[in-house]
Amino acid sequence: MKIRKNKILINLRIFLLLGCFLFIVQMEATGQRIKHRKDSPFWYNWSVDMNFGLTSYYGDLSQYDNDFIEKLIHESKPAAALKITKYFDYKFGVSGQVMVGGFSSDYKENNVFGTRLFEYNIQANVDLLNIINDFNRRNSGITLYVGIGQFLFKTTSEITIAGVTTVDVHNSGVPEFVYFFGSTLYHKIHPRFYLLMDLSIRQAQNDNLDNFVKNDDFDYYSFISLGISLQINNLKFPFEKLGDCPAYGGNKSF
């Protein structure tokens, strides 16, 4: 019985020491967080967006520029994008994005092509409703953005003449520049998550996206997508409750 009591006392002491250690560690971590909050504004107010949709082609061989549905069916391919945004206040932000996508066309039975591309870019964003209302507390809103980036692409075309099909592959080899603008509609579904609907128009500084050069006019492509946004108040402590975050309207209460 005495041995059993001694074991219980030893276990209690171990638990007490462990509890004291964890308490000290927690207090130290809390102090460090407070210090970082005061000294590191860079870590505040971020969002991570993931979008899935379609990239569509506008160029020398496009046929459905005036028919949106046919454009999506015949001259588009699946695309996905990941965007990380740093917000400076409730109105402005800067983003970096990577995107993969592609498009195709069956301009003629004897001239078809398919293109795959990879793009990376930077963007400047403005929350339109916050510009108008100063601080939008509603659950929905719209952001506008412009950007510049570079992309790599590979186009494979099949040309049939007199029953003989020739396959021609054009690989960009080096990055090409692209300029674009767009808008994002957002709607709050959770304090940390927003649904997104996005549309952008991109001008490629290249006329070879369709492997066909005519009049030296640049080709265009669009990206239409749905997505979800994760709001982060502090990158070092992404799941900590800190208050309002300016991302997408500023009406987050983390």
Q: How far apart are CA 183 and CA 204, in angstroms?
A: 19
Q: Which CATH number fits domain 46-250: 1.10.1790.20, 2.40.160.20, 3.30.565.10, 3.90.1200.10?
A: 2.40.160.20
Q: Which residues contact 20 (CB under 8 A, 6 or more apart)?
A: none
Phi, psi for 244 (deg, rounded to 5): -70, 145
End-to-end Cα separation, the chain, in angstroms = 53
Residue 150 pairs in a beta bridge with 120, 177
Least confident segment among 19-23, 42-46, 75-79, 137-141? 19-23
Domain ranges in the chain are 1-39, 46-250
Is the per-residue pLDDT at 247 higher than 50? yes
pTM of the full structure = 0.77
β-bridge pairing 44-58 and 140-161: unpaired
Q: pLDDT tens across 67-100, in order?
A: 999 999 989 999 999 999 999 877 899 999 999 9
Q: How far apart are CA 64 and CA 200, in angstroms?
A: 18
Evaluated on CA atoms 142, 244, 124, 100, the torsion sign reads negative
- Note the pLDDT of residue 95: 96
In this structure, what DSSP letter does residue 138 have?
S
Phi, psi for 174 (deg, rounded to 5): -120, 155
Q: Per this entry, what is the length of the chain?
A: 254
